[in-house]
Amino acid sequence: MEILTTIAQCRDHRLSDRAAGRRVALVPTMGFLHEGHLELVRRAREVADSVWVSIFVNPTQFGPHEDFESYPRELKKDAELLAHEGVDIVFAPTTEEIYPRDPIVQIGFSGLERKLCGTDRPTHFAGVGLVVSQLFNVIQPDRGIFGQKDAQQVLLIRRLANELHFPVEIIVVPTVRESDGLAMSSRNAYLTPQERTAASTIYATVCKARDAIEAGEVCGEAVRRILITGIRSEELLELQYAECVDVETLERTEMISGSVLLAVAVRVGKSRLIDNVTVTPSATAEGTT
């Protein structure tokens, strides 16, 4: 496994991969890796000959009062985990390599970036869109591997890749969870034991709402109420949003007739945690409203 830090090195290695006819899969991450990231890496291995992982805590996707400075970084341990998974290339650039000066290019998503997580993090997806475009441009992967845990990110990256004609196939891996259902996240490291226990309520609540739809609930507002009540039942959780939305437009669903995204964000102590499931109501369930 090689660790590259410059764009020039990436371009050289990419040329060698291309000359040898190797298909490249890229797993973009911010490091402090856990099993969720490693699942993406394993999926990458299945769909490519050369697996690249980027590790870059991207400043442009953090708001001014967010945890950019304190975001956990552990490159040495990450590199060991990735070597063990048989990764070919790690790209771990400095901030200056990616942003030699403050960028003036901005990626917008016509308002989709302001929904869900964008309510509290209005500049987040512009930063994600910029850095993913940069990585796709520098590495030119055949496949880009992303986690369903960040459902809104997946939606926006698919649109970005499609509309900017990046020749990359976006592959999405289901959310990897702890044994009590909590979605794995680098930010779980900030939780105290009590907060960690409370955090299991997040997925339990999303599942309750999903079960209601599967049992025939068709009223979006009723489903939203289940989410809100579930999160509020645990006093250590501070609700940021709880939504039942259309999977493409992220607009609130009034009557559930097709696939919906159930998505929540909560604050727990110093962490902000998100989770989601996509539900397609079964044709046989009877409506209850």
Active site residues: 37
Q: Which ranges in 20-141 belong to alpha helices (H)?
A: 35-47, 75-84, 95-98, 117-120, 124-139
Nearest-CA neighbor of 127 among 100, 99, 155? 99
The CB density around residue 256, as the number of other CB atoms within 10 Å, is 23
Q: How many residues does the chain have?
A: 289
Total number of residues that touch ligand AMP (CB under 6 A): 17
Q: Which two tokens stand for residue 148?
A: 């369903």
Site for ligand AMP in 112-151 (CB under 6 A): 146-147, 149-150
Site for ligand AMP in 21-60 (CB under 6 A): 29-30, 36-37, 39-40
* Rg of the chain in Å (alpha carbons): 20
Q: Which stretch binds ligand AMP (CB under 6 A): 135-143, 170-178, 229-237, 240-248?
A: 170-178
- Does 276 help bind ligand AMP (rule: CB under 6 A)? no
- Does 186 help bind ligand AMP (rule: CB under 6 A)? yes
Contact of 276 with 259, CB cutoff 8 Å: no
Q: Which is nearer to ligand AMP, 124 or 224 (CB)?
A: 124
Q: Which is nearer to ligand AMP, 25 or 223 (CB)?
A: 25
- Phi and psi for 31 in degrees, rounded to 5? 80, -165
In angstroms, rounded to a whole number, what is the distance separating the alpha carbons of residues 13 and 117? 35
Site for ligand AMP in 233-272 (CB under 6 A): none
Q: Which is nearer to ligand AMP, 185 or 253 (CB)?
A: 185
Q: How far is the CB of 261 from ligand AMP (least distance, A)?
A: 14
Q: Which is nearer to ligand AMP, 109 or 146 (CB)?
A: 146
In angstroms, rounded to a whole number, what is the distance separating the alpha carbons of residues 53 and 233? 39
What is the contact surface with ligand AMP in residues (CB under 6 A)?
29-30, 36-37, 39-40, 146-147, 149-150, 173, 175-176, 183-186
